A and B are shown apart, each in its own frame.
Chain A
Amino acid sequence: MESRLLHVNLTTGELRVEQLPHAMFERWIGGSGINNWIMWEHFLKHDINCDPRSPDNIFVFGVGPLAGTGSGSGIKGRITFKSPCYGIFGDSAAGGKFPYMVRFAGFDHIAITGKAPRPVYLYLCDGHADIRDATHLWGKNTAETHTALNTELGDYPSHVHTLTIGQAGEHQVGIAAVVSDASRIHARGGGGCVMGSKNLKAIAVQGSGGVRVANPAGMLKWSREFRASIDRNEAIYGFKRRGTLGAVEMYQHIGSHFWRNNQGNMFRGDEVRSDNWVKKYHKYSEVCSADCFIACDGRYKIDGSESEKAQKYVGETFRRPEYLTTGSAAGALDLRDWAEVAHWGKITNDYGIDNQDLSCAISFIMEVNQHGLLSERDIGELFGRAQSLEWGNMEDVETLMADIVYRRNLFGELFHDGPYWGALRYSARTGRNFMKYSIYGKGGASFTEEMRPFPTWMNNMAVASRGADHLKGIGLIEKFQRRDLSKRYFNGRLEAADLSTPVLKGACTALVENQVALINSYGVCLFHWMLDPTGYAPEEYYGRAFAEVTGIDRTPEELMRDGERICNLEKAFNSRLGLRREHDTICERWMFEPTTEGMYPGRVAADMFETVLDEYYEWRGWERDTGLQTASRLESLGMGDVAEVLAADGALARG
């Protein structure tokens, strides 16, 4: 297995290629695993408590070992960094063709440090790298930057694929995102802000090299069987047609939406409740990531006949909204027109900003206003103008979004790190406590799905290494009530699929986090994993693909330990930053305010929160009172070196 890491120091302009040793794959697999290790090593030499916007922060891009190998599933690229908005571990993934092109250009990982004296972009082509002037690209949005780089670099030796930031990243907005090929977004954690703080506008790549596969015949055979197995799952028909939009209807049934800053958990407005609009209004074709066969994605084009409001956006075309685009627009902001929902998706991509944190910041201020807590003077001070803050008003939403993206008034300055920091800063400034209206979980990250009735999701929001998030330990066994999987993983017990009890929910988070870490280090999309009819068992079939590509043969048990090791490194990173049990928490509304509708009205997270958290630590083998890792568990995972670093920082459990 060959793998190359490109070190880029933007301060000195130094570029250095390092051949990653084979032992690295044995220990960290690739993708997020190796990314995490690169960042861990970086912060052994640099102050881990540094300002995330300083040149000392690191920005790592990496692909997994299955990328561009014909497996049909290694499609995800991952960025890893210290998060500027949450101040903790940060990473984010996206698909598209950029990741596989990085591999064809001869690299697997890129580690960027320092700060360029003026705007630059990084150009990679067939084993060479180059830092180029990007003054002419500064100020452009992600789509314009992508187009400009395509024109500039031409089609030889291959198409150009890019990773860019928009205006949000340039203004170092904490929740700024990195956008791949102008349409696929690494949204969480503020990677765009880190790029912006380094004056790095874009990474462009062209490649004509290939990727070597250890056993081509075995790889093709695996790929065929895997795809046939996925196609046997009837869920694939809906998923291939609508992607995650299928969740809109289903969530309406179980009350899992996030409405008006989570004052409710069902959508209002007849149209947005169903995903029929895809069939009815928007003309689309499916598009795929490179080397992915699912095509959950598609395009819309607005022709004005859809609704009155759509006439404003005639001719607009972009990727059709997926669930969280809808959850943030139709839910958090209560926009009830599909054209507006689609447009919201497009402009957040163009600016390059995370729609989760952004929508929660805007819905926070709208709710505060709804309760009559903002006087005219307050509004004048915040916005520097008269500003209406009306639910479901797209004009208000667009104006507020621009305030944050350009940090052009007090509101933008206070809320550019998301709703938690915004609410905290505004409360401190006014001497009034607004925290009960702020929706956040660990690290101050926010998320637009209801989780009070769903114990595993609630636990995800409190413990995910990158701050409140569902993708690290996604609680689908519980949400889809998969008793079969509960039975299989927990010795015949059914409680993991039962929403009414806290039992096995923490265990479920720990188990699935390990599996997801494995998936992420292969660079495989979570949807491939979710759709396999044999259930969530990545340690079984992806292990074979990994062996066909790399020649490294692993048993399922070893692979689960690999996943656990990766989770523990992310945890160790956060422990070094001072995170303890009290930081694994969620906001007041989720914790204490009962839900009023949906399947389980009256639920508050506090009913089960501590029980589930205790169980999670127990399954992880971490200390219950502090949440810290123990030396014995780390050593059993072959992480003695990590335990030593934690001990030196006083971040290891004493027991």
Chain B
Amino acid sequence: MSRTPQTEMVTGAVWYQPGDEIPDVDQKLYALQNQCTDCNICEVACSLVHSPDGIVNPLLARLKVNHSPQVGKRAPTHGFGFAADICHHCGNPPPCAEVCPADAFYYDPKTNVAVIAQDKCIGCMECVPGCPFDVIFVAPDGELLKCDLCGGEPACVEACATRPELNNVGKQYNRAPVLFHADSATYRAVLQDKPEPRDEVGMMQAMLEKGMVSSAA
């Protein structure tokens, strides 16, 4: 169960390049490239909102911040990189659900994303290698953890450390987090406008225009 992220070449961070196919889902998490600072606050918030008795424990989080060599590869000027490995909420049906022998995945009617029914899960862990992005996690007690988008208001996005200092671009925004939450049509439109995802400022401006982040008063 030990994960060694330093050697992982496949990162779960969700960035799309222009031309990448973006699956059709109603809601999805996205990350702004190269801006993750490894503060773990998303993990902490995720575990706290999912805990029935107010326990903070990053190992119970449904996303993980990893040192990500791929960030360095994509953006050679940095050479260091962190990224939150987050569920891609793959299209219909998601590979994790497909491999499940217990039929424990169902669509949350509120968000239309696949989530695990804990009462049906038999703990076989088939979905862990079944996930192409390695973002189904195993809690210390064996429970399988998958992002459920918090019923439509993801706590990680709310908690994500903001980077308003990006060329002072943040001054124009209420919030400029690293993690975003949007439907795929909006995100596609953002990418269409701004074909260079590594240009964080440009991305942020495009997101503002498409209503993905709100403008400061």
Interface residues of A (CB under 8 A from B): 68-70, 72, 97, 104, 154-158, 208-216, 219-220, 223-224, 227-228, 231, 234, 236-241, 283-295, 299, 301, 317
B57 interface residue (CB < 8 Å to A): yes
- Contacts A240-B163, A289-B39, A293-B161 known; list 18 others, CB within 8 Å: A104-B59, A155-B3, A158-B59, A209-B57, A210-B55, A211-B55, A213-B56, A216-B54, A224-B158, A227-B162, A237-B168, A283-B77, A284-B78, A287-B80, A292-B41, A293-B37, A293-B162, A294-B161
The CA-CA distance from A238 to B162 in the complex, in Å, is 14
Question: Which of these, B1, B38, B170, contacts A288 with CB under 8 Å?
Answer: B38
Question: Which of these, A70, A154, A239, contacts B2 with CB under 8 Å?
Answer: A154
The CA-CA distance from A209 to B80 in the complex, in Å, is 29
Contact present for A231 and B41 (CB under 8 Å):
no
Closest approach, in angstroms, between the C-beta of A271 and any C-beta of chain B?
21
B49 interface residue (CB < 8 Å to A): yes
Closest B residue by C-beta to A126: B140
Can you list 12 contacts pairing A with B, beta carbon distance less than 8 Å? A70-B56, A104-B59, A210-B51, A210-B57, A211-B55, A212-B54, A231-B164, A238-B165, A240-B165, A285-B82, A286-B37, A288-B37
Chain A residues with Cβ under 8 A from B53's Cβ?
212
Contact present for A291 and B44 (CB under 8 Å):
yes
Given A240-B165, A283-B78, A291-B41, A220:B159 Cβ within 8 A: yes
Question: Which of these, A155, A158, A210, A293, contacts B41 with CB under 8 Å?
Answer: A293
Chain A residues with Cβ under 8 A from B54's Cβ?
212-216
Question: Which of these, B55, B59, B170, contacts A237 with CB under 8 Å?
Answer: B170
Chain A residues with Cβ under 8 A from B3's Cβ?
155
B interface secondary structure, majority: loop
Which 8 pairs of residues, A with B, have the shortest CB-CB distance?
A210-B57, A288-B39, A293-B161, A210-B55, A295-B37, A156-B2, A237-B165, A240-B165
Chain A residues with Cβ under 8 A from B34's Cβ?
285
The CA-CA distance from A285 to B161 in the complex, in Å, is 14
Contact present for B56 and A210 (CB under 8 Å):
yes
Chain B residues with Cβ under 8 A from A216's Cβ?
48-49, 51, 54
B45 interface residue (CB < 8 Å to A): yes
Contact present for B168 and A211 (CB under 8 Å):
no
Given A70-B159, A288-B161, A157:B78 Cβ within 8 A: no
Chain B residues with Cβ under 8 A from A212's Cβ?
53-56
B11 interface residue (CB < 8 Å to A): no
Closest B residue by C-beta to A216: B54
Contact present for A220 and B48 (CB under 8 Å):
yes
Closest approach, in angstroms, between the C-beta of B128 and any C-beta of chain A?
15
Question: Which of these, A208, A224, A228, A293, contacts B57 with CB under 8 Å?
Answer: A208
Closest approach, in angstroms, between the C-beta of A226 and any C-beta of chain B?
11
Closest approach, in angstroms, between the C-beta of A275 and any C-beta of chain B?
14
B203 interface residue (CB < 8 Å to A): no
Closest B residue by C-beta to A234: B171
Contact present for A211 and B56 (CB under 8 Å):
yes
Interface residues of B (CB under 8 A from A): 1-4, 34, 37-41, 44-45, 47-49, 51, 53-60, 77-82, 140, 155, 158-159, 161-165, 168, 170-171, 175
The CA-CA distance from A68 to B37 in the complex, in Å, is 17
The CA-CA distance from A353 to B19 in the complex, in Å, is 52
Question: Which of these, B49, B80, B170, contacts A285 with CB under 8 Å?
Answer: B80
Question: Which of these, B44, B49, B79, B82, contacts A283 with CB under 8 Å?
Answer: B79
Given A155-B3, A216-B49, A240-B163, A290:B40 Cβ within 8 A: yes
Closest A residue by C-beta to B162: A231
Chain B residues with Cβ under 8 A from A287's Cβ?
37-38, 80, 82
Question: Which of these, A104, A158, A290, contacts B39 with CB under 8 Å?
Answer: A290
Contact present for A70 and B45 (CB under 8 Å):
yes
The CA-CA distance from A212 to B60 in the complex, in Å, is 13
Chain A residues with Cβ under 8 A from B57's Cβ?
104, 208-211
Chain B residues with Cβ under 8 A from A104's Cβ?
57-59
Chain B residues with Cβ under 8 A from A70's Cβ?
41, 44-45, 48, 56, 159
Chain B residues with Cβ under 8 A from A231's Cβ?
162, 164, 170, 175
The CA-CA distance from A646 to B51 in the complex, in Å, is 48
The CA-CA distance from A389 to B211 in the complex, in Å, is 62
Closest approach, in angstroms, between the C-beta of B92 and any C-beta of chain A?
32
Closest approach, in angstroms, between the C-beta of A2 and any C-beta of chain B?
12
Contact present for B78 and A72 (CB under 8 Å):
no
User: Which of B3, B45, B53, B54 has most chain A Cβ within 10 Å?
Assistant: B54
Chain B residues with Cβ under 8 A from A210's Cβ?
47, 51, 55-57, 60
Closest A residue by C-beta to B75: A285
The CA-CA distance from A69 to B60 in the complex, in Å, is 14
Contact present for A157 and B59 (CB under 8 Å):
yes
Closest A residue by C-beta to B76: A283
Chain B residues with Cβ under 8 A from A294's Cβ?
161
The CA-CA distance from A157 to B171 in the complex, in Å, is 41
Question: Which of these, B49, B140, B155, B159, contacts A208 with CB under 8 Å?
Answer: B140
The CA-CA distance from A214 to B1 in the complex, in Å, is 31
Contact present for A155 and B38 (CB under 8 Å):
no
Given A155-B2, A158-B59, A236-B164, A295:B39 Cβ within 8 A: yes
Closest approach, in angstroms, between the C-beta of A279 and any C-beta of chain B?
11
Chain A residues with Cβ under 8 A from B56's Cβ?
68-70, 210-213
Closest B residue by C-beta to A300: B80
Chain A residues with Cβ under 8 A from B55's Cβ?
210-213
Closest approach, in angstroms, between the C-beta of B112 and any C-beta of chain A?
25
Chain A residues with Cβ under 8 A from B47's Cβ?
210
The CA-CA distance from A342 to B171 in the complex, in Å, is 31
Chain B residues with Cβ under 8 A from A157's Cβ?
59, 140
Chain A residues with Cβ under 8 A from B79's Cβ?
283, 301, 317
Closest approach, in angstroms, between the C-beta of B154 and any C-beta of chain A?
12
The CA-CA distance from A72 to B48 in the complex, in Å, is 13
Closest approach, in angstroms, between the C-beta of A340 and any C-beta of chain B?
21
Given A70-B41, A212-B54, A291-B40, A284:B80 Cβ within 8 A: yes
Closest B residue by C-beta to A289: B39
The CA-CA distance from A289 to B161 in the complex, in Å, is 12
Chain B residues with Cβ under 8 A from A211's Cβ?
55-57
The CA-CA distance from A289 to B58 in the complex, in Å, is 14
Closest A residue by C-beta to B36: A285
Chain B residues with Cβ under 8 A from A214's Cβ?
54
The CA-CA distance from A290 to B140 in the complex, in Å, is 20
The CA-CA distance from A381 to B117 in the complex, in Å, is 77
Contact present for B164 and A237 (CB under 8 Å):
yes
Given A240-B163, A291-B44, A220:B49 Cβ within 8 A: yes
Closest approach, in angstroms, between the C-beta of A16 and any C-beta of chain B?
26
Chain B residues with Cβ under 8 A from A317's Cβ?
79-80
Chain A residues with Cβ under 8 A from B78's Cβ?
283-285
Chain A residues with Cβ under 8 A from B1's Cβ?
156
Chain A residues with Cβ under 8 A from B140's Cβ?
157, 208
Chain A residues with Cβ under 8 A from B2's Cβ?
154-156
Closest A residue by C-beta to B47: A210
Closest approach, in angstroms, between the C-beta of B54 and any C-beta of chain A?
4
Closest approach, in angstroms, between the C-beta of A125 and any C-beta of chain B?
12
The CA-CA distance from A70 to B39 in the complex, in Å, is 11
Closest approach, in angstroms, between the C-beta of A90 and any C-beta of chain B?
29
Contact present for A223 and B159 (CB under 8 Å):
yes
Closest approach, in angstroms, between the C-beta of A76 and any C-beta of chain B?
14
Given A104-B58, A223-B159, A285:B37 Cβ within 8 A: yes
Contact present for A236 and B165 (CB under 8 Å):
yes
Closest approach, in angstroms, between the C-beta of B163 and any C-beta of chain A?
7
The CA-CA distance from A291 to B56 in the complex, in Å, is 11
Closest approach, in angstroms, between the C-beta of A210 and any C-beta of chain B?
3
The CA-CA distance from A107 to B186 in the complex, in Å, is 46
